[in-house]
Amino acid sequence: MVWFAVIALGGLGLLFGLLLAVAGKKFAVKVDPRLEKILTVLPGTNCGACGFAGCRGMAEALLRNESGAASCPVVSEETVYKIGEILGRKFEVREVEVARVMCQGDESKIKYDYQGVVDCRAAHLVADGYKACSYACLGLGTCKAVCPFDAILWEKGKTPEILMDKCTACGKCVEVCPTKVISLIPKKAKVYVKCSSHDKGAIVRKICKVGCIACGICVKVCPTKAITLENNLAVIDYEKCTNCGICVEKCPTNSIVMVQ
């Protein structure tokens, strides 16, 4: 009886194994060999900035022709061309962008001593933050915490610095900032307004030495008419701006800056 049971169980195991092997071949999902090739050129950070569930999700969307290669804000121009070669399609190359902190928050006066959770979103829930300027960077490092590329330098209480050689314009820091002082702008733009305040000039003067007071001098001196005033804040049209720097020289509060 024991041997009969052993033989019976062994036979059943062999039968089920054969059935599974046949089913595995019959119902196997064929993987497009181009999928792995695309995954090798995508960044692999799975940041989700493209709108898909990681790099694999985007690669699958590319294969289904449901996305363009430039949907990934992280990919370089070279990578876009490589994906085009793999798929036999031509993709448009987006303009290279970087994140910039549009604020000199260290100069803003303080409303109260914040002793809560070290998180900008938490601090912003308390009377729009502890800075006198409600549009100011709160300097608690939430942007650094979410950056998947280690592209942000930060010291507690200080305005963070974005490293241009590491920033990929994924937009994670832009999304998480509660005061919206981080923006994506063209990498070629060397001149930008390092302020996000929409308060009137008289208020700005009282709470920040380097805030935009909407005086309009930059609008008047810009030779390409690239600057306008919108809701008490100077706004630069980067398509028109030539990085001449005249507005930087003339700005009375130094709220317009030029970088190398």
pTM (two decimals): 0.75
Residue with token string 């059943």 = 12
Closest by CA position to 187, among listed 211, 170, 169, 213: 169
**pLDDT tens column, 80-97:** 888 888 888 888 777 889
Strands 191-193 vs 256-258: parallel, antiparallel or unpaired: antiparallel
What is d(CA 160, CA 196) in angstroms, rounded to the nearest whole number? 15
**pLDDT tens column, 9-27:** 666 667 666 666 666 565 5
**pLDDT tens column, 175-228:** 999 999 999 999 999 999 999 999 999 999 999 999 999 999 999 999 999 999
Domains of the chain, each with CATH number or no CATH = 33-87 (1.10.15.40), 95-188 (3.30.70.20), 189-260 (3.30.70.20)
